[in-house]
Amino acid sequence: MRLINVDTLALEEFFDHNRPRYAILSHTWGPNEITFKDFQGSRSSRYRGGFNKIDGMRRVARDQGYEWIWIDTCCIDKSSSTELSEAINSMFSWYEQASVCYIYLEDVPPGDDIAARRSRFRRSRWFTRGWTLQELVAPRFVEFYNSSWECIQTLPASQQLAHGSSSGSGRRRLEYRPSSRLSFAELVADITRINRKVVRKDTDFADDITVYSVAEKMSWASGRETTRKEDRAYSLLGLFGVNMPMLYGEGNKAFERLQEEILKISDDQSIFAWGYGLPPLPRGGLFAQSPDDFAGCRGITVREEAESPHYTLTNKGLHLGARVTNEQPDCRLPFYAAINCQEEFSSTTGSFQNSKDTLAIPLCRLGNRTVRPPFTAPVSLPLVSFGESWPQFYISNCEIPRRFDLFYDSISISFDMEIVDRSVVTTVETYPLSVIHHSAHDRVLLVFNRWETPGEASTTLLVRFRLSGELPDIALRLGVAAATEETDHFCIERHEVATIEKEKSLSEQMFLLKETLWEEETEWDSARLKPVVRRREAQRFKSRRVDLFLEVRPFG
């Protein structure tokens, strides 16, 4: 590790056994940064725009009694791939072992009211960058500075000084007047969506690295950006306590490798909870594509009391044993496998969740494979929903099966209805696919799996309708035979309806919908409903899909 002497600006290399106390910098890169090469060159090459940042830091550090500082732009020789890889794998520990971390916000001017809703502080670029996440959580002490190197505030708060006082070195600290709602730590947590205990620095994060679930830590990185796509993964190594080589050019494969490394050292199954709390994604597979897929996992915790059999990543996929809901192979519907985590606190509802619920991931059989299908998401289900046995299966990591097609066609679903109170029917949910609202119709994108044997391309779609008033919701089940090698058309093999509870989602009820509950029509005290499905002329497209046009007309 190279450090800069605050008096001479000389670079000197240290190893673990003789490393002195040092201050470390967290910042965002600008266009005129001083590099390692500049430090190795003539003294005149150091003194350009980016030098003001270095000079400001060394003055603050020297005032605080530090002889050495570390700045990534000029302490790492990025022309050496070996050194860069070692630095990236060591970065978290370097920030953790620093005596103090200075967070320099170049885009926050003096006089900024940081508590204001539209403050420059809240909108600082520093809060949006991938590398700055570990630079906030790893150090034991951090100090925030504005563009003039005036100290805004410190974390933990016990380190702060009163307004106008000095630290013995003449450093003046600005006063942060917290609103009735937010302390400074809460303000930072609100901006970053990081757990408040971590931001407050209640304990050393390195000591509690496994306290927070994989999914929750991934959620902290959602929405952050890096210049290189691979750095979205590389910037998270220390957060999960893993190491891996840098392979720039691998793209999204870097984030997949990160998840594989996490699996090797952790039995935290929340790593499979990606997509929870988000609209269904148009892809499946075992692993997430980026931290953004975990944006809805902020309140996910590990269920410590849950049984967690070992699992192994093999060339056939993830070999896993898990409790599952009842499979319905005749319907081609996904089943659910329980994972050892739960949503402790829902950011959506703002309430604590039932401790007897668990998260579960959707799976379906494709021939002799088990996959997580596209347009599905994990759900929270009661533990009683799952069987007591632990079947073993391999979950394939294919994003989309090789024999997978989207089919375009249009069918018209009319409801012959007799409703006393003239209820209006609206589409509120589909399973396992998403509803796309367009014009006056609800358009539903259907995803079909083309099975290995021609003629067996079929699926089941559930559509949930809501009627005004006190009437129960209606679930429509469509059995669809998709296009084959001989035809571009598909047909509706069957269509039935059933009444379901309003309070629960389709995903929570679909495995409870027994075959005996489905009828050609349904009726209750004030209404009668019967679906009538009419196919429109099929059309052929290179990229095909199915549109369902949902209409309602009087019964009879």
Cα 338 off chain centre by: 19
Residue 291, pLDDT above cutoff 80: yes
Return the higher-pLDDT residue of 314 and 206: 314
Return the higher-pLDDT residue of 398 and 30: 30
Amino acid at 360: A
Mean pLDDT of 239-250: 95
pLDDT over 70 for what percent of the chain? 65
Domain regions of the chain by residue span: 2-208, 237-395, 404-554
Return the higher-pLDDT residue of 421 and 223: 223
205, 207, 254, 259: which is closest to 232 by C-alpha? 254
Residue 114, pLDDT above cutoff 70: yes
User: Which residues, other chains included, contact 297 with Cβ-Cβ below 8 Å and sequence gap of 6+?
Assistant: 213, 215, 216, 218, 219, 270, 273, 274, 276, 277
103-113 per-position pLDDT tens digit:
999 999 999 99
Alpha carbons within 13 angstroms on the beta-carbon side of residue 322 total: 29
**In the sheet that 409-419 helps form, which strands lie side by side, from edge to edge?**
522-524, 527-535, 409-419, 546-554
**What is the reported pTM?**
0.77
Q: What is the band of 325 on the pLDDT scale with cuts at 50, 70, 90?
A: confident
Backbone phi, psi, residue 146, to 5°:
-85, -170
User: Which residues, other chains included, contact 392 with Cβ-Cβ below 8 Å and sequence gap of 6+?
Assistant: 319, 320, 321
Cα angle 295, 154, 221 (rounded to 5 degrees) comes to 15
333-363 per-position pLDDT tens digit:
568 899 999 998 655 545 555 667 899 998 8
Average pLDDT, the chain: 77
**pLDDT of res. 225:** 96
